[in-house]
Amino acid sequence: MSNNRKTRRRNIELHCKPKKSYPNQMAAMNAGVRTGLNWYRCPYCRQWHLTKRNT
């Protein structure tokens, strides 16, 4: 695909912009522990976001 870069930008717009991003796992972990959320490494922006626990 020739527009991979564009698609990635778009994913970041949709997926990442509405969320808070953390530059490293430590920051995400601290925030996650505080708020009771899970943290995960984002494949689009390579930063960390928080997500609800689904158990």
How far is 37 from 11, CA to CA, in rounded Å? 22
φ/ψ of 13, rounded to 5, equals -55, -50
Return the residue of 22, 39, 42, 48 that touches Zn ion, per CB under 5 A: 42
Q: Give least dist CB 34 to Zn ion, A.
A: 20
Residue 15 to residue 9: CA distance in whole angstroms: 10
Amino acid code (one letter) for 19: K
Size of the site for Zn ion (CB under 5 A): 4
Confirm or reject binding of residue 16 to Zn ion (CB under 5 A). yes
Q: Which stretch binds Zn ion (CB under 5 A): 3-11, 25-33, 40-48?
A: 40-48
By the criterion CB under 5 A, which residues form the site for Zn ion? 16, 42, 44-45
